[in-house]
Chain A
Amino acid sequence: MILHMFKEIISYRQMLISIVRRDLRSRYKGSFLGFLWTFINPLLQLIVYSIVFPYLLRMNQENYPMFLFVALLPWIFFVTSVQSATTSIVGGANLVKKIYFPRVILPLSVVCTNLMNYIYGLVIVFSALLLTGVHLTLNVLWLPVVLLTLFLFALGLALNLSALYVRFRDLEHIVGVVTFVWFYVTPIVFPITIFPQKMADIIGYNPMVPIINSFRNILLYGKQPEWGALMYSLVVGIILLTIGTWVFRKSEKTFAEDL
């Protein structure tokens, strides 16, 4: 079943590429600065967060802007992927009702588009890291592995949610609320150490924790990811992906009628 899905995606890869390219380019099409916005947006966020949060939270986190930034960009990738993938099938109703193609291309292309956006954002990340005097080590090379873990996790959720959203339109709002809470139980704007130990243990089950920590480890601290913890996230991601594939396959046949 998964193999068949995979084969179809391969044969429709040009569609995936075209749609990702279209979405990336159309986002800023017609704006004066155009593609530069891809860089300006995270840059502005970086500036605002690094002014506001230390002031609000009164922490003495060393190099706080980068502490935040290195974690914030993967989070943005994750959250926008999941949120816009949820509505992707319904948003593509026009295509789904009129033409055949592997439906999975729709949520997949959303996650890929956001992945590309993250990768473009890395230009800012690396220049900012170098500017603030962070010592980069060879452990940076683990980045693709960490990114892949995050990608699979996001895709797993995306498949489930996009298929279910066709029938349950509440999901859009539920996803909004859940990701809002999720943001604060993931150590993004603050280190996990601000929680009491008991709570931190529970929060540790959040698969995003090892992923975000890994981003900090390899980019900011020059360390290897904590493999055990990251493996846990990867396994959760693969399980979600498997369930997602199953749910998607099961419901995609009626997409054209349910829309």
Chain B
Amino acid sequence: MSEQTVISIKNVSKAFKIYRDKPLTIKEKFLKLRSNEYSNFYALNDVSLDIKKGETVGLIGHNGCGKSTLLKLITKILYPDSGEIEVNGRISSLIELGAGFHPDFTGRENIYINASIFGLSRKEIDGKVDEIIRFSELGDFIENPVRTYSSGMYMRLAFSVAINVNPEILLIDEILSVGDANFQKKCYDKIEGFKNNGATIVIVAHDLGTLEKICDRVIWMNAGKIVEQGDADRVIDLYTQHMNKKFVEQTQKEYINGTMKQASGDENPQIAAPKQSELEFSEDIRWGSKEVEIIEARIINRNGESTNAISAGEPVTIEIDYKVNKPQKEYIFGVGFYTSERVLIYGNNTEIGKLKLRSIQPRGTVKFQIDECNLLSGHYKLNVAVVDGDHRALDFIKYYMDFSVVSNDKAVGVLSIKHHWEVD
């Protein structure tokens, strides 16, 4: 039923010219003082999309993926380079709040200016002005100049106008962080109300939880293309997984760069001089006789790389490099995980593992291998230690390093537990 389609986007592409140095004046243009070279950046690349009447559609994707450009094309702020966009119905966009507000005018006067920019006639505004004022909760302040408002009041007024325009199509871009929790709830109720009245809503947000709640369909965009679309929870799940993976990769890259920098810094004798022992911790974090010393500890991911970010569900290895300065009768190596609030979550050692270590190499590596890391998303601290048979600390580093875990499990707490629900 094509008459139900209110927004129809067909093979739309939009490129922005990225000028290296754009000539702005005639002099510059003729004298070629600035080069006119540019490269094209495709914000949208052959996107097709139909949005039906009454649908609530969410757009997700990381910054620069083209979702805001798509909204701007729908409102006709921008025009596509190729392709067609057809929109049937009055659009109100919550993209820009407080358009045309003049600080010296009262709130009431500004309502008239602002609403008129949305294309409302005087009569329509007259009919809505009381509702707008009531919604903004500004009370008597409405007769004061807007410049006397706090920023919260200003945004509330602006939002009230925009949301009371009663559009057939509502476009929302990242602005639902207005006001206190109460006001936000009111806004969501209002949006819910629009939905029930059959309005079409297109919303861009980073708050995935909200999107999952209010959207019928979610569209995931990347590099100007639609990656995936469909039921909100399915697409958001896919997106979260993707983002988690990306986060781990990104952190991994930064971590490697960081350690490389440190390594190259060490080669420089002037900088390295004061840093003779590479592990420096304050006394309340590291203690022990140093008869056995921990030289280095590492978290190794599935690909065998040293890292500080782990994807839950994958195998992980903790490696401890040690050096024996004075041989002991027995050695016990241990690892532990703390939350960022320094609460112990898990600890284990070779003794618990029934591994009696009476004599070891003077230098070596102890590995703690985890088949499947089932910590939940969060930031954690790694604890590594070596003690002797009487549990006297040889080298105990309580917080060796910070690491993060990303997990697709949305449960709260610190650990994933295998489970299923049943209701009889």
CB within 8 Å of B: which residues of A?
A: 11-15, 17-19, 22, 25-26, 29-30, 94-101, 168-170, 253-254, 256-257
The answer, among A17, A100, A170, A254, for a CB contact under 8 Å with B116, is: A17
Task: State the majority secondary structure of interface residues on A.
Answer: helix
Residues of chain A contacted by B26 (CB below 8 angstroms): 168, 170
Task: State the majority secondary structure of interface residues on B.
Answer: loop
B273 within 8 A of A: no
* A–B Cβ pairs within 8 angstroms, 29 of them: A12-B116, A12-B119, A13-B121, A14-B120, A14-B122, A14-B125, A15-B116, A17-B116, A18-B100, A19-B100, A22-B100, A22-B113, A26-B102, A26-B105, A94-B99, A95-B100, A95-B117, A97-B77, A99-B93, A99-B95, A99-B117, A99-B118, A100-B77, A100-B91, A101-B117, A168-B24, A168-B25, A168-B26, A169-B25
A96 to B116, CA, bound (A): 15
**For the complex of A and B, 10 pairs with smallest distance between CB atoms:** A98-B96, A14-B116, A18-B116, A253-B79, A15-B116, A18-B113, A29-B104, A100-B75, A100-B76, A170-B26
B34 within 8 A of A: no
B97-112 CB contacts (< 8 Å) to partner A: 99-100, 102, 104-105, 109, 112
Beyond the given pairs A15-B116, A18-B116, A169-B24, 6 more chain A to chain B contacts, judged by CB atoms under 8 angstroms and listed by A's residue number, are: A12-B119, A19-B116, A22-B100, A30-B104, A99-B75, A170-B27
B223-239 interface mask toward A, CB cutoff 8 Å, 1 = contact, 0 = none? 00000000000000000
Residues of chain A contacted by B17 (CB below 8 angstroms): 257
Given contacts A30-B104, A169-B24, A256-B77, are A101 and B112 in contact (CB under 8 A)? no
A54 to B170, CA, bound (A): 63
Residues of chain B contacted by A257 (CB below 8 angstroms): 16-17, 78
A9 → B minimal CB distance (Å): 11
CB nearest neighbor in B for A169: B24
CB nearest neighbor in A for B109: A22
B10 within 8 A of A: no
B187-201 interface mask toward A, CB cutoff 8 Å, 1 = contact, 0 = none? 000000000000000
Does A99 lie within 8 Å of B79, measured CB to CB?
Answer: no
A253 to B80, CA, bound (A): 9
Residues of chain B contacted by A11 (CB below 8 angstroms): 119
Residues of chain B contacted by A168 (CB below 8 angstroms): 24-26
Does B99 lie within 8 Å of A19, measured CB to CB?
Answer: no
B401-417 CB contacts (< 8 Å) to partner A: none
Does A99 lie within 8 Å of B96, measured CB to CB?
Answer: yes
B209 → A minimal CB distance (Å): 27
CB nearest neighbor in A for B76: A100
A100 → B minimal CB distance (Å): 5
CB nearest neighbor in B for A167: B24
The answer, among B75, B91, B113, B121, for a CB contact under 8 Å with A19, is: B113
Residues of chain B contacted by A97 (CB below 8 angstroms): 77
Residues of chain A contacted by B79 (CB below 8 angstroms): 253-254
B29 → A minimal CB distance (Å): 8
Does B104 lie within 8 Å of A101, measured CB to CB?
Answer: no
Does A26 lie within 8 Å of B104, measured CB to CB?
Answer: yes
Given contacts A15-B117, A256-B72, are A98 and B102 in contact (CB under 8 A)? no
Does B112 lie within 8 Å of A18, measured CB to CB?
Answer: yes
A253 to B121, CA, bound (A): 25
Does B102 lie within 8 Å of A100, measured CB to CB?
Answer: no
B211 → A minimal CB distance (Å): 22
A210 → B minimal CB distance (Å): 32
A18 to B122, CA, bound (A): 9
A14 to B112, CA, bound (A): 9
B122 → A minimal CB distance (Å): 5
A101 to B79, CA, bound (A): 13
A17, A26, A101, A254: residue with the most chain B Cβ atoms closer than 10 Å:
A101
